Structure 1
């Protein structure tokens, strides 16, 4: 089933459905779908689950114009299935005042398919009330999932390879404070975990120091150029076996900025590719473009997996 432009209703079954497809990894889609900080950006203005998100968790979703709707998580199977029941503002959840919104996620090539099915409208008073709520929520899922798609487009983007300028750029949002992201971005032990390269910097990481990254027993030099606390991390890296980055070395720069809801936007730019011979430049740039997608996704997963 392809991406649907709007939610639809099935009046016989009294349900609302919509399927969307996005070009983002399934774990990123899951995070955006279920993390209360993310939910508050596309599904109302507030999402509060004091005990955390899990099966049985109780909380609420809030809209400035409509109030706070109580909710309880009824299914929690990361990253494929999520469902919550939500009721009426100011009332405990009952069968006659609540509906069930169930989400399923599937990976299909480089796309993630997300389907929402909301049921239970036949229990909301008489038939007219149920059909009115059915239509209201059809409009709601059309608007809210459009906002979800737009948020994902900001949260996860592919690398941009510009052969004319000799640059590769990648931006990624991480739902964690900037200081925490910085700590794992620049700590050698963390780098080995999320990037997969043992990072050795005798005497510690600081501006002007040259250390090494290692892959399958081979090392290459990494000369730190900028280490500005919680703002910018930049280095020049060379080829296997060099003591210092040579004439074909590229420059890498990470910049961090705080997003609207207290997360962190990480932008990496790898430049200097015009120093690389033209015969091999395009293939190597494309390879590194895919590499930066893997690397920053690894950083995001690592930061979110640790407690602090």
Structure 2
């Protein structure tokens, strides 16, 4: 897994032994996305301009609602959405904060594999009191999520 970061963005990549079409389906289909990401997205859709939401299913985070505003979908190579990073406190209204942009890009590689890269940018606009925690937790989180999608599509 490749790692690169600065104060404003996180970038992680992984080479997955699956076709770009298979990885794309796991990213762009809400039910499949939810299966590896850990969120219940039944009845939701991913399409540009759509707000997808559902409860997180990861132990200890069941009180958190996944909220994503889908920006772009270019099958089978790009999916992006905006969200509030590490918005885990049920008592806080995050709606007044700027969102970060999460962009997944897929590049077919040799032997039918796919290079999947996720970039989350815009942390410099996260309120100062939350920025370091959001950056740190999402940095670790994307490493885990890339392993999750790899396991999901290759099982």
Partner in structure 2 of residue 223 of structure 1: 69
CA distance in 2, matches of 1:201, 1:227: 19
Q: Which has the higher contact order (CA 8 A, sep 6+)?
A: 2
- Structure 2, gaps ≥5 residues long: 57-61
Q: 1:189: how far off? A: 1.7
Match of 2:52 among 165, 188, 211: 211
Match of 1:179 among 1, 14, 21: 21
Q: Is the 8 A contact 1:255 1:268 kept in 2?
A: yes
Q: Is the 8 A contact 2:71 2:82 kept in 1?
A: yes
Question: Structure 1 stretches (4+) deviating beyond 4 angstroms?
Answer: 239-246
Aligned length: 146
Q: Which has the higher Rg, Structure 1 or Structure 2?
A: 1
CA distance in 1, matches of 2:96, 2:123: 13
- Structure 1, gaps ≥5 residues long: 1-155
> Aligned pair 1:162/2:12, yes or no?
no
TM-score by length of 2: 0.84
CA distance in 2, matches of 1:191, 1:174: 16
CA distance in 2, matches of 1:170, 1:219: 24
Partner secondary structure for residue 190 of structure 1: helix
Partner secondary structure for residue 261 of structure 1: helix
Q: C-alpha root-mean-square deviation of aligned residues, in Å?
A: 2.2
Q: 1:207 and 1:200, CA in 2 relative to 1: closer, same or farther beyond 3 A?
A: farther
CA distance in 1, matches of 2:46, 2:93: 17
Q: 1:231: how far off? A: 0.9
